[in-house]
């Protein structure tokens, strides 16, 4: 079951929509030609709209919400927050994925038993759409795994972002792909002002860096004997 949370409106969104509707109706009323040509339609529409607006204004402080309803409302507020965070995560990921000509779309779904929320990444290249993670090349998978970790930490309001290859699966712990990813990320960090407020620290262990990386300060730490 997939849910489009954007189709569900909060009370504040509904109130804003009503205010916008009221403003537009006032604008229509000032258009004499329109009113004269559509007088019967305008009159009937105004009656319905005024009833809705007046009811909303008179009763907005009288409506009581039960505990069950409040829990339901809180649940949807949580969904809105989740959808907003996933949207921000997707935006950051795509900013970095542009370095390797990929895009990702993060779909939110809920299991049939309504016990889990899942996020499904769908990828696209310039010529190939609807790719799954398994369809990516190994370097692309490693790039995505690294930027996913970085993006989640950025979403958590961290200003200093740490990454270590010690915390990724062995199958993605490939020296060449990891250092190529860091090189591409360094270029992206340099070009995009979005990253100016962040400091990125890459802690790489047991992998030898054979070529220096531009715009990266490298500190080598050796085990003491």
Determine the pLDDT at residue 3. Answer: 45
Residue 216 has pLDDT above 60, yes or no: yes
Determine the pLDDT at residue 196. Answer: 92
Tokens read off for 198:
């962040």
Tokens read off for 128:
């190939």
Residue pointed to by tokens 């990386």: 213
Contact between 105 and 93 (Cβ < 8 Å): no
Query: What's the pLDDT tens digit per position in 165-204?
Result: 988 888 899 999 999 999 999 999 999 999 999 999 999 9
Residue 141 has pLDDT above 90, yes or no: yes
CA–centroid distance for 62 within its chain: 36
Query: What's the pLDDT tens digit per position in 90-109?
Result: 999 999 999 999 999 998 88
Q: List strand residue ranges (DSSP E) for 14-143, in order.
A: 103-110, 117-124
CATH number of 72-203: 3.40.50.300
- Give pTM, 2 decimals: 0.63
Domain ranges of the chain: 5-59, 72-203
What does R_g of the chain's alpha carbons equal in angstroms?
Answer: 26
- Mean pLDDT score of the chain, rounded to an integer? 77
Determine the pLDDT at residue 220. Answer: 72
Q: List strand residue ranges (DSSP E) for the chain, in order.
A: 103-110, 117-124, 160-164, 199-203
Query: What's the pLDDT tens digit per position in 27-78?
Result: 655 655 555 655 555 556 556 666 666 666 565 555 555 555 556 556 667 6
């Amino acid at each position: 079951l997939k849910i489009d949370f954007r189709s569900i409106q909060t009370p504040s969104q509904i109130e804003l929509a009503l205010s916008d509707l009221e403003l537009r109706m006032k604008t229509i009323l000032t258009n004499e030609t329109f009113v004269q040509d559509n007088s019967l339609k305008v009159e009937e529409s105004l009656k319905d709209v005024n009833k809705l607006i007046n009811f909303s204004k008179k009763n907005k402080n009288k409506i009581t919400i039960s505990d069950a309803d409040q829990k339901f409302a809180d649940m949807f507020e949580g969904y809105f927050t989740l959808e907003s965070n996933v949207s921000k995560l997707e935006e950051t990921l795509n900013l970095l994925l542009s370095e390797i000509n990929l895009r990702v779309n993060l779909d939110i779904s809920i299991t049939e038993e309504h016990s889990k929320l899942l996020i499904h990444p769908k990828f696209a290249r310039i010529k190939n759409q609807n790719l799954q993670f398994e369809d990516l090349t190994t370097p692309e998978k490693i790039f995505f795994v690294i930027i996913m970790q970085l993006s989640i930490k950025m979403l958590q309001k961290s200003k200093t972002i740490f990454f270590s290859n010690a915390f990724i699966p062995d199958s993605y712990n490939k020296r060449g792909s990891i250092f190529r990813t860091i090189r591409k990320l360094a270029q992206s960090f340099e070009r995009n002002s979005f990253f100016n407020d962040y400091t990125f620290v890459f802690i790489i262990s047991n992998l030898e860096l054979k070529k220096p990386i531009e715009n990266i300060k490298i500190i080598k730490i050796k085990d003491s004997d």
